[in-house]
Amino acid sequence: MIKLLLVDDHELVRTGIRRILEDVPDFDVVGEASKGEEAVRFCRDHAPDIVLMDMSMPGIGGLEATKQILRFSENTRVIVLSVHRENPIPAKVMQLGAFGYLTKDSESEEMIKAIYKVAAGQKYVSPDIAQQIALGQLDLNESSPFEPLSERELEIALMLTKGVKVPEIAVYLNISAKTVNTYRYRMFDKLNVGTDVELTHLALRHGLITSDQL
């Protein structure tokens, strides 16, 4: 039996995934979490086999939660479920040690296939995303300007491109607005932009976001 933890800050998403997985005889959904901190605690206490991890959540977020889970729960493997399909996000997730990466529009059959493969010790990335990662590694001259960003800077960048204001980001991530702005200006310096609008244009130009995500 493969023990699974579902991590997403939207209850409807967790409910939908649970219903899909509960129909598979080999799967046992042993827990749910709505924040990264909850996921880390659950993994320390219960050591599930697989964690299906959302990336954008309140608190420490999916990237940091993945790092902590892999540090303290050696037998737990993480599959990230994300709305983002463009590099550098998938590549950064896999570099952290995640065993899988799926987009949230993946078919249920693909998610089930990924869980089986990861449980067997194999890594799984959706084919189109795997191709992007491979091409990005081959063509270093076309690498994304977002690659030098830290996980937290990248997370804040994505929220800013969606029009989320600094005070809202601070509440969502459970950090101070001053800390958010510190990350923001450090990120602006790395990307050579001066405003949130310039950041959004850069993200669109390099495929980090699409116009329908705005």
pLDDT at 84: 75
pLDDT of residue 192: 93
CA atoms within 13 A on the CB side of 35: 9
Q: Which residues contact 11 (CB under 8 A, 6 or more apart)?
A: 34
123 in the same domain as 155: no
Which of 115, 138, 161 represents a domain boundary (last residue)?
138
> What is the reported pLDDT for 42?
95
Answer for the pair 36, 62: CB distance below 8 angstroms, yes or no.
Answer: yes
Q: What is the CATH number of the domain that holds 174?
A: 1.10.10.10
Same structural domain, 11 and 82: yes
The confidence score (pLDDT) of residue 105 equals 85
**Same domain flag for 121 and 195:** no
Q: Give CA–CA dist 212/41, Å, rounded.
A: 35
Kindly report the pTM of this predicted structure.
0.75
pLDDT of residue 205: 82
d(CA 77, CA 69): 9
Q: So what's the pLDDT on residue 73?
A: 83
In a domain, 143, yes or no: no
pLDDT confidence of residue 39: 94
Range of the domain at 134: 2-138
pLDDT in tens, the chain (214 residues): 999 999 999 999 999 999 999 999 999 999 999 988 999 999 999 999 999 999 877 777 788 889 899 888 888 999 999 877 766 778 778 888 899 999 888 899 999 999 999 999 999 988 777 766 665 554 444 567 888 888 788 888 888 988 889 998 888 888 899 999 999 999 999 999 999 999 999 888 876 776 655 5
Same domain, residue pair 6 and 86: yes
